[in-house]
């Protein structure tokens, strides 16, 4: 997948192919590579690092919200969530992990043609949508893009990051670069996503499992 950060580096420390007793690899990568969780420290230096998150922080009920009609660089408004609740008969509940299904992860499959993933943009939350979800309040937000906010990948300094700043300040966690949401039947499931206890870090790769 396009990572938007320096590519992960894998090196063989020990290799049976070279006559070593076992196979051991070295891995160097950003903690915000691929599917990962943002800790509050990511945007607030005074708030908790990923190793201080309780183990149950990303275990529990989740609601899958279908926004697949939103494609490209388009905003998702509070009214879009309210309309989905009305039409689906489902409610976004306090304590839910909200998994935002936009279909954007299909662009991972394009290999080197990363423009569909980056330059063409992705569905992103408006300030009103952020406030609506924070009022529930949800426990976590999972998105299929590398950011729930709109940013210019070429100029991150120009972005305001309303979702990150509002959610992380309130302890609402953010999972980015999800995939396979289309394989979850229905609108509800349980999720299990355990961040690594990386001392002093702003996030961690996670493997998100849906129990359906």
CA distance 164 to 33: 17
pLDDT of residue 115: 65
pLDDT of residue 103: 94
Helix axes 127-134, 78-88, angle to 10 degrees: 50
Closest CA to 184 of 206, 207, 208, 204: 208
Q: With respect to residue 115, please indicate whether it lies within any of the assigned structural domains.
A: yes
Q: With respect to residue 22, please indicate whether it lies within any of the assigned structural domains.
A: no
Confidence check: pLDDT of 5 > 90: no
Task: Decide the pairing of beta strands 209-211 and 188-192.
Answer: antiparallel
Q: In terms of pTM, does the model score above 0.85?
A: yes
Q: Is 184 helix (H, G, I), strand (E, B) or coil?
A: coil
CA distance 167 to 125: 12
pLDDT of residue 7: 85
Q: With respect to residue 197, please indicate whether it lies within any of the assigned structural domains.
A: yes
Q: With respect to residue 1, please indicate whether it lies within any of the assigned structural domains.
A: no
| The two structure tokens encoding residue 9 | 């580096």
Q: With respect to residue 57, please indicate whether it lies within any of the assigned structural domains.
A: yes
pLDDT in tens, 41-60: 999 999 999 999 998 999 99
List the domain range (segments joined by +) for residue 125. 32-211
Q: With respect to residue 17, please indicate whether it lies within any of the assigned structural domains.
A: no
Per the structure, the count of domains in the chain is 1
How confident is the model over 130-158, as a mean pLDDT?
A: 89
CATH code of residue 188: 3.50.30.50
pLDDT in tens, 18-41: 999 999 999 999 999 999 999 999
């Amino acid at each position: 997948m396009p990572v938007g950060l320096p590519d992960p580096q894998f090196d063989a420390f020990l290799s049976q192919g070279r006559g070593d007793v076992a196979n051991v690899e070295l891995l160097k990568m950003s903690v915000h590579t691929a599917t990962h969780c943002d800790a509050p420290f990511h945007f607030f230096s005074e708030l908790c690092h990923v190793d201080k998150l309780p183990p149950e922080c990303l275990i529990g009920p989740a609601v899958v919200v279908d926004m697949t009609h939103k494609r490209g660089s388009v905003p998702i408004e509070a009214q879009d969530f309210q309309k989905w609740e009305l039409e689906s008969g489902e409610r976004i509940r306090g304590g839910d992990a909200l998994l935002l299904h936009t279909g954007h992860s299909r662009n991972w499959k394009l290999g080197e043609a990363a423009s569909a993933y980056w330059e063409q943009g992705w569905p992103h939350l408006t300030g009103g949508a952020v406030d609506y979800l924070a009022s529930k309040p949800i426990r976590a937000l999972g998105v299929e893009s590398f950011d729930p906010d709109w940013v210019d990948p070429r100029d991150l300094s120009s972005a305001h990051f309303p979702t990150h700043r509002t959610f992380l300040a309130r302890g609402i966690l953010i999972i980015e670069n999800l995939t396979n949401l289309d394989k979850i039947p229905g609108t509800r499931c349980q999720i299990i996503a355990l961040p690594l206890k990386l001392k002093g870090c702003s996030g961690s790769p996670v493997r998100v499992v849906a129990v359906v």
